[in-house]
A = this chain, B = another copy of it.
Amino acid sequence: MINKVVKGAVEAIEDIKDGDTLMLGGFGLCGIPENLIAALVKKGVKQLTCISNNAGIDDFGIGLMLRKHQVKKMIASYVGENAEFERQLLSGELEVELIPQGTLATRCMAAGYGMPAIFTPAGVGTEVAEGKESRNFNGKEYLMEYAFDADFALIKAWKGDTAGNLIFRATSRNFNPIMAMAGKITIAEVEELVEVGELDPDHVHTPGVYVHRVFEGVNYEKRIEQRTVIKKS
């Protein structure tokens, strides 16, 4: 097996530089690469294009990078749970491209599957369709959308082995496996790093071939965005 282990987040992002395009896994704050984001903030790399379903909140997730003005452009499906985001957007500091969530997911998948473009009906007849090629198949209209081209994918898994095989937990899977497939360089942080042979090969969600660097993260906060509970009676 090929060993993909790096020491930690700082070493893992060593070659990320100003102006790079990054994919960041997660849905809301669920399954986000907390350690990698912290390292990016510490490193202070700037002018980034970030592809991520959401943009975090003011004091967590991608919000931490926004606060340090590290993001030039955000490509997401749903944002604005974040006052600083709104401020930067209105002031023209931040460029935002909003795209349908399924289109976002499928453009990641397209990159991972070596398909230069895909067809989706999402956005037909709306402003999302402006300037895009559309095409009719069997009487239904589809937009042609292109595969993403990202320099790095930063993802978070539950368990990983030294060969880069990854297993996700519950809905923290979300965009992580498809971004893992799509990055030119994929960096995975995991809650638990194990030796090869400890993961059941039938349970692996992301085969190690997609992962270039893996490390065990520390101090996971796993913040909850909407704590909705039923009171025990």
Per-residue 0/1 for A108-129: is the Cβ within 8 Å of any B Cβ (1 yes, 0 no)? 0100011111111000000000
Q: Is A215 an interface residue (CB 8 A)?
A: no
Question: In the complex, what's the smallest C-beta–C-beta distance from A21 to chain B, in angstroms?
Answer: 16
Q: In the complex, which range does the number of interface residues on chain A fall in?
A: 20 to 34
Tally of this chain's copies: 2
Among residues of B, the one whose C-beta sits closest to the C-beta of A140 is: B116
Q: Which residues of B contact A117 (CB under 8 A)?
A: 119, 137
CB neighbours (8 Å) of A140 from chain B are 116
A142 touches B (CB below 8 Å):
yes
Q: Would you list which residues of chain A between 157 and 179 have a CB under 8 Å from chain B?
A: 167-170, 173
Cross-chain contact of A118 among B118, B168, B173 (Cβ < 8 A)? B118
Query: Which residues of chain A from 99 to 157 have a CB within 8 Å of any chain B CB?
Result: 106, 109, 113-120, 137-138, 140, 142
A202 touches B168 (CB 8 A): yes
Contacts of A119 in B (CB 8 A): 115-117
- Asked if A142 and B118 make an inter-chain contact with CB atoms under 8 angstroms apart, the answer reads no
Closest CB in chain B relative to A30 CB, distance in Å: 14
The 10 closest A-B pairs by CB, nearest first: A116-B137, A203-B203, A115-B119, A115-B118, A116-B119, A117-B119, A169-B202, A116-B142, A117-B137, A116-B138
A-B contact pairs, 10 of them (CB 8 A): A106-B115, A115-B118, A115-B119, A116-B138, A116-B140, A117-B137, A118-B118, A170-B202, A202-B203, A203-B203
